[in-house]
Amino acid sequence: MAKRLDVKDLNIYYGKFHAVESVSLAVPPKNVTAFIGPSGCGKSTVLRSLNRMHEVAPGARVEGKVLLDGEDIYASTVDPVSVRRTIGMVFQRPNPFPTMSIRDNVVAGLKLAGAKNKKQLDEVAERSLRGANLWNEVKDRLDRPGGGLSGGQQQRLCIARAIAIQPDVLLMDEPCSALDPISTLAIEDLITELKKEYTIVIVTHNMQQAARVSDQTAFFNLLGVGKPGQLIEIDDTEKIFSNPSQKATEDYISGRFG
Ligand SMILES: Nc1ncnc2c1ncn2[C@@H]1O[C@H](COP(=O)(O)OP(=O)(O)OP(=O)(O)O)[C@@H](O)[C@H]1O
C-alpha cells in the first residue's frame, strides 16, 4: 500500500519521435503530485510510462528507470499487466463498462483475476464504493448498469474500480476534465481522502486544481514543436505557485503562456 515512485533519467519515444527528455523526479508515498504544463509537453506520456500504459501505443518505448519502492517496473522479469495492477489508472473520460452492473463494474478486475466468492466480492464492492464516496448514492441500485450514472458518478465508479484491486499508486489523467464544477469538487475531495492510503499522481490543466489538491507540483514545458518535453522544476505546490525557481514556471502559472 502507498509505495514510493522514483523516476530516473527517463526518456520516452514514440517510434523515432523523442517525446520526453531526461525526466527525474520522486513521488513520496501518501502524497499527491500534480503534473502541469502546456499542451503537448508530455504530461500524459510521463504519467502513462509510470505504469507502462504507454506501451499500448505501437513503437512507444522508454530509456531510464521507474522504481516502485526500489523495484524497477521495466525489469525484464516484470509483467506489464502486474505493473498495471499495482499502479492503477483513472482516465480523462469516465469509462465504466456501460451495460455491466454498478457492482460488477467495481469488481471487474478481481473477477478477471479469477475471484468467485460472491460474499467477498460484495464486500470489496461496498468497501471500494465507500472509498470512492459513491456508496450512499448507489447502494440501492447496485444491479443497475454503470452507464446509467451521471458523469461525475461514473468517474467515482471508475475510481472505485481502480481501488478495488488495492493498488499501491493511483495515476489520474485529467480526471475532472469531462465533469461539471460540483462533480469536480467531489473528485477533489475524494483525492484528498484517498491520499491517506495511496500515492497519487494527477495530470491537470487546471492550475487551481493543482493548487487545491497536490502536495508537490511538477511543471513540464517544451521548447518548440517537434522538440521533446522537459521537466522544468518540481517542488512543493505552495512554492511553485508563490515563488517558483524558474522563469518559465512563473510565466506559465501567471498565465503568460500555455
Ligand atoms: N500514441 C502516440 N503516438 C505518437 N505520438 C504521441 C502519442 N501520444 C502522444 N504523442 C506525442 O507526444 C507528445 C506529448 O504528448 P502528451 O499527450 O504526453 O502531452 P500532454 O502534455 O499530456 O498534452 P495535453 O495537455 O494536450 O494532453 C506530443 O507531441 C504528442 O503528439
Atom of ligand 1 nearest to the CA of 46: 18
pLDDT band at 179 (very low <50, low <70, confident <90, very high): confident
The whole-chain average pLDDT of the chain stands at 95
What distance in Å separates the CA atoms of residue 163 and residue 85, rounded to the nearest whole number?
10
The pLDDT of residue 258 is 61
What grid cell was written down for 124? Answer: 470489496
Q: Which of 11, 44, 220 to mutate to test the pocket of ligand 1 (most atoms within 8 A of CB)?
A: 44
What distance in Å separates the CA atoms of residue 34 and residue 198, rounded to the nearest whole number?
14
Nearest residue CA, atom 31 of ligand 1?
A: 40
**Tens-place pLDDT, residues 131-146:** 999 999 999 999 999 9
The pLDDT of residue 225 is 86
- For β-strands 60-68 and 5-14, DSSP reports them as antiparallel
Q: Is the separation of the CB atoms in 214 and 30 below 8 Å?
A: no
0.90 exceeded by pTM: yes
What distance in Å separates the CA atoms of residue 156 and residue 95, rounded to the nearest whole number?
11
ipTM over 0.90: yes
Rounded CA Rg of the chain: 18
- Ligand 1 binding pocket (C-beta < 6 A) is 14, 17, 19, 37, 39-45, 57, 229
Domain ranges of the chain: 5-253
Residue 126 has pLDDT above 90, yes or no: yes
CATH of domain 5-253: 3.40.50.300
**Tens-place pLDDT, residues 191-225:** 999 999 999 999 999 999 999 999 999 999 998 88
**Tens-place pLDDT, residues 138-170:** 999 999 999 999 999 999 999 999 999 999 999
Residue 72 has pLDDT above 70, yes or no: yes
Provide mean pLDDT across the span 61-81.
Answer: 96
